[in-house]
Structure 1
Amino acid sequence: MAAAPAVEGDNGCARGGLVCVTGGSGFIGSWLVRLLLDRGYTVHATVKNIQDEGETKHLQALDGADTRLRLFQMDLLDPASIRPAVEGVHGVFHLASPVILQPAQDPENELLQPAVEGTRNVLRAAKDCGVSRVVLVSSQTAMVPNPDWPADKVVDDDSWADVEILKKLELWYNVSKTLAEKAAWDFAGEEGLPLVVLNPSLVLGPTLTPAATPSHRLLMQLLGGQKLDMEPYYIGCVDVRDVAQSLLVLYENPSAQGRHLCLESTERLVDFIDKLANLYPEFPLHRIKEDKQGWVVRSKVGSKKLIDLGVRFTPFEKTIRDTVDCLRSKGLI
């Protein structure tokens, strides 16, 4: 397989070299794979089922995929299946983790074990294979709710979600992301593995995948007039293309350390719903009559660390319009 010539970065990560993207067929993963290929990287992307064209066809159609993309079937709970995708790569982007936003029937097996043990297994493979840098996709849901956070302070990278509150609310996806990120930091500290983390908020924007993603289905529910209880954790949204760009920036910049909240602006759910309703008055959105998010301090620079690294966020209106146009083109709304 022909690889583009690698340019060595200050942190030892080869720009344009060989990298691994776990969960490469997903919403964020496929945009990241596309961006990496566009930048001259050679990519090992993992999928759950390599026989499923719904996971593979949109990746194989990307420019550069024929010579610089290789797909691997991976099971997060099977370390032996992880190693081949990680062997020989300079960096790992770990995105693979179950996304179940509706109530889980079996949280431990559906969400928690794959997220937490899967993260440890991927990091172990990265460490054993001598990977130079790991970029982990966590979530803004690993940051809130935090009852100890100062009432007048914008939520930032120092905030951690209260896992016991999340469990009481049965927000098992949020629990899985919080515990997986904590496990990653523990592993990196114990093993000396270079790790940097991205914490995206609600991710929207057009998808390269053939089917709607969980966050798209959530948007479709809102547009259909459903009332969703997101007040405990919603603090903003972000364009998937900006998430992919942020991941690349974190990989290529040795100065990027720690956690990075990734959102267009810090806002309240009432702001989000009102903007949606104003953009699309033809949809029966359920307007919020009582704002229960007094704890959310609004900010246009909630992602200051990423902005300082050069990330420029897509305006909310463009993200939403591109999302709705995409859903319409697929006949979903």
Structure 2
Amino acid sequence: MAPDGDGGGGGFVCVTGGSGFIGSWLVRLLLGRGYTVHATVKNLHDEGETKHLQAMDGAGARLRLFQMDLLDPASVRPAVEGARGVFHLASPNELVEPAVKGTLSVLHAARDCGVGRVVLVSSQTAMVPNPSWPAGKVIDEDSWADIELIRKHKLWYNLSKTVAEKAAWDFVQKEGLQMQLVVLNPALVLGPTLTPSITASLKVFLQIMQGKRFDMDEYFIGCVDVRDVAQSLVALYENPSAEGRHLCLESAERMVDFTNKLADLYPALPVERIQEDRQGWVVRAKNPSKKLINLGVRFTPFDKTITDTMDCFKSKGLI
């Protein structure tokens, strides 16, 4: 079953986790392209989850919000019923079993409701660390994170993303479904937020700008603008030829590159420059997200993403 719109937009889709950092930009983009959207939130009575969505252009006529508990399959189906496509973004942070159960609940509902295409947001943390990856080769969609190594380093968020994505692929394969599954694997997501408060990745970035050092040497390979993530998700839905996994980042780089760029852009802030590069395994590359680029996605330059993120922080009085 082909997605609605044949590359042009329109039709009826469901977005789980629609009130979040990525989800809000995706809902806004979908409404702008003429889609009717069912978006799920954790609490319909929390204006922090609902007000910014209801204020979007087109929301009055084409947006309906649903309260959903990922661990309650009965709460998933009403949002999915009638949709031609599902974007699954909702995920409990750092909780492995709920992440898997939640993903399977959404896939079961999509199957039972006759959904044609599911676009799943995973993460580049489901790709690395991977000690068996060939030296000198840029990380791509064939790489899977080493689960035992993730457990050893107690990287629970990384583990939840890896096992949830694996469970999704296993489900589709075992069921022999007509339903199409495509996956997006974004790097560290930055950029301005439409939400009233900032979420996990932006909190990490804010703390880096305030001088905190994060040990992400085992898995950091770069960052990506949230608006590009939303564009990528729509591209995966609207292009029937899109299949498999899709690495999503502006350029492949190391933590030392990242922090040094930030320190150069904002010399007045106490960004801690990394003195020792411990990421020899990361092969630097421009335009590594070739599958997305071939689908027409164009990535925002790093400096603009950072500037827009900082402007957003300033508007919220955070920096």
TM-score grouping bracket, smaller chain normalisation: over 0.9
Q: Which residue of 1 aligns with 2:25?
A: 31
User: Aligned partners of 2:78 and 2:229: how far apart in 1?
Assistant: 26
Q: Which residue of 1 aligns with 2:256?
A: 270
Contact 2:25/2:230 (CA < 8 Å) preserved in 1? yes
CA shift in 2, pair 1:172/1:82, >3 Å: same
User: Aligned partners of 1:44 and 1:8: how far apart in 2?
Assistant: 17
Q: Which residue of 2 aligns with 1:106?
A: none
Q: Number of residues paired by the alignment?
A: 315
Q: Which residue of 2 aligns with 1:299?
A: 285
User: Aligned partners of 1:81 and 1:210: how far apart in 2?
Assistant: 25
User: Aligned partners of 1:8 and 1:314: how far apart in 2?
Assistant: 25
Matched, 1:9 2:6: yes
Contact 2:104/2:167 (CA < 8 Å) preserved in 1? yes
Q: Which residue of 1 aligns with 2:134?
A: 150
Contact 2:4/2:84 (CA < 8 Å) preserved in 1? no
User: Aligned partners of 1:175 and 1:22: how far apart in 2?
Assistant: 21
**Within 5 A, what are the aligned runs for 1:1-333?**
8-9=5-6, 15-99=9-93, 111-191=95-175, 192=177, 193-333=179-319
Deviation per residue, 1:207-239 (Å, 9 max, x gap): 000001111110111111111100000000000
Q: Please tell me the root mean square deviation across aligned C-alpha atoms, in Å.
A: 1.2
**Segment of structure 1 superposing worse, 188-197 or 274-283:** 188-197
CA shift in 2, pair 1:82/1:281, >3 Å: same
Deviation per residue, 1:73-100 (Å, 9 max, x gap): 0000000000000000000000000235
Deviation per residue, 1:20-77 (Å, 9 max, x gap): 0000000000000000000000000000001100000000000000000000000000
User: Aligned partners of 1:8 and 1:73: how far apart in 2?
Assistant: 27
User: Aligned partners of 1:301 and 1:315: how far apart in 2?
Assistant: 11
Question: In structure 1, the residue corresponding to 2:103 is in which secondary structure?
Answer: helix
User: Aligned partners of 2:310 and 2:117: how far apart in 1?
Assistant: 36
- The code of the aligned residue for 2:56 comes to L
User: Aligned partners of 2:269 and 2:167: how far apart in 1?
Assistant: 42
Identity %: 73
**Deviation for aligned residue 1:8:** 4.5
User: Aligned partners of 1:287 and 1:7: how far apart in 2?
Assistant: 47
- The code of the aligned residue for 1:55 comes to E
**Deviation for aligned residue 1:112:** 1.0
User: Aligned partners of 1:120 and 1:275: how far apart in 2?
Assistant: 40
Question: In structure 1, the residue corresponding to 2:286 is in which secondary structure?
Answer: coil
* Runs of 4+ more than 6 Å apart: none
Deviation per residue, 1:248-298 (Å, 9 max, x gap): 000000110100000000001100001000000011111111100000001
Q: 5+ residue gaps in structure 1?
A: 1-5, 101-110
User: Aligned partners of 1:17 and 1:121: how far apart in 2?
Assistant: 23
- The code of the aligned residue for 2:276 comes to E
TM-score (norm: length of structure 1): 0.93
Question: In structure 1, the residue corresponding to 2:252 is in which secondary structure?
Answer: coil
TM-score (norm: length of structure 2): 0.97
Q: 5+ residue gaps in structure 2?
A: none
User: Aligned partners of 1:301 and 1:226: how far apart in 2?
Assistant: 29
Deviation per residue, 1:83-122 (Å, 9 max, x gap): 000000000000000235xxxxxxxxxx112211000000
User: Aligned partners of 2:223 and 2:105: how far apart in 1?
Assistant: 30
- The code of the aligned residue for 2:18 comes to G
**Deviation for aligned residue 1:7:** 5.6
User: Aligned partners of 2:283 and 2:40: how far apart in 1?
Assistant: 38
